[in-house]
Amino acid sequence: QIRQQDRAVRTESASTVHASDRLTKFREEQAKTDRINPQASRPPHPPFNKSFLTKENLYRFDLFRRKGVVDQRLVDVGSFSGLGIEKIIKDNHLFRTVTSLEQYVLEVVMEFYANLPSKEEITNNKVYVRGKMYEFSPKLINSVLDLPVRRKETLIDDDVDLNVIAATLSGGRVKDWKKITIVDLTPTLAALHVMCCANWIPTSDTSTTLTVDRARFLYKLVKKIPFDFGELVCHQVTRSGQMVEYSEFRPVFPNLIYQVLSYQRDVPLHKGEALSNLAMPICNNMRLSSDKHVSLSLPSPSGRKGKNVSLPLTSGRKKKLKAYVDMAIACLEVVNDDLQGDMSDEDGDVMLEHNEGIG
C-alpha cells in the first residue's frame, strides 16, 4: 500500500511545476483585482460572523458536519497498464483529476457548503468563506485543472438510448439496460467506474447499482464525446448543497473545492485546523486483466479507507451472487468504520467554537 501511495504521488508531482506557475500567476491577478475593486470580495451584507453569512448557515454547517464528505482519490494509473485506462483518461482531459489532488481543511469545506447559495440565489458564482467572497464557477474549475476551453459542449444527460449504453459498457454481453449491473462491465469500464465514484460523479453508495448519470458519463469517455467538467462539478456541488436536509448524500469534491478556494487567495485558518490526509489511492491490487473481476478500494467517507474484499470468481448466476456478497461485506466494513469514527467525534467542542463566532 505504501508503494502504491508513492507511485500515485510521483505521478501527481510530474505536473506540479506547471501548476505552481499557473497558481502564482492567477494569485497575482486576483490580488490586483482585490486592490482595484475590494468591494468584489466583500459579502453582500454584514455577515453573521467570519465563518457564516447568516445564522441559518450555522445550522446548515452542523448538518453537513454530521454527514462527513466523500473523499476524492489519487489513482495509481501505472497499476492499470494493459487496460488502456491512462489513454482514455488523457484523451478526455481528466488526467489531473486523478493525479493532482490536494489536501483540504475539512472545516473550511463544511463552511463552504453551509454558505453555498441555492442555484436560484447564487449570483456571480460566488460563495462566502472566512470573511470574503470566493468564486466557484465552471470556468475557474476548468482553469484550476488546466482543462481545455471548449466552444461547444454536450450535456451529460443526452439522448443516447440506454440499451445502447448497456451494450457498449458490457462489451456486448448485456443489451438490456434494466439488467446491467457493475458486475457486467468490462474490466476497463469497471475500473473507470470506481474512479468515477470517487473523482467524477462521487458517491458514498457502494452498492452494485449502475446509475444512469455514471453510465452516460462512462459512455462519453469511451466514445470521446466532449463535456464540460467544470459544469459537471458545479452541478453536483450545488445539488449536494441543496440535498443536505433531505437525504443521506454526503458533500462531494472536498479536495477540489479547497483547491479552487486556495487558487484565489490564502484561506484563513482557525487554531487547531489542519490539512487532512489524502485518502488511500485507487490501485489495481489484483493486477486486473481482461479475464478477471475488479478488486478495488471502494470510496468511503471522510478519509477512511474502503476495504478490499474478494471472493473466488465463477461464471453465470453464481458470479453475480458472489459479486453482491463482495459488495455487502465491503459495505458492512465501511459501516463499521463509520461507527468507530462516530464514537470518537468531539461534536460538542466543534460546535462550541462556531457558536462563539470564531475569529
Q: 270 and 359 in contact (C-beta within 8 Å)?
A: yes
The 10s digit of each residue's pLDDT in 10-52 is 544 445 556 677 778 888 888 888 788 888 888 889 999 999 9
279-322 tens-digit pLDDT: 989 988 655 554 454 444 444 444 433 333 333 343 455 555 55
Q: What is the pLDDT of residues 203-212, one digit of tens each?
A: 887 666 799 9
Mean pLDDT is lowest, of 146-155, 266-275, 300-309, for: 300-309
Confidence of residue 243 (pLDDT cuts 50, 70, 90): confident
Residue 123 has a pLDDT of: 63
**Which three cell numbers mark 212?**
444512469
What DSSP letter does each residue of 172-230 carry, written as one string?
A: TS---GGG--GGGS-HHHHHHHHHIIIIIS--S--SS---HHHHHHHHHHHHT----HH
Phi then psi for residue 226, to 5 deg, are -65, 150
For residue 301, what pLDDT is reported?
A: 47
What residues make up the domain containing 128?
A: 2-355
Residue 317: the pLDDT is 52
Of all residues in the chain, the percent with pLDDT exceeding 90 is 48
Report the distance separating Cα 169 and Cα 261, nearest Å.
36
> pLDDT (tens digit, 9 = 90+) per residue, 196-236?
999 999 988 766 679 999 999 999 999 999 999 999 999 99
Number of domains observed in the structure of the chain: 1
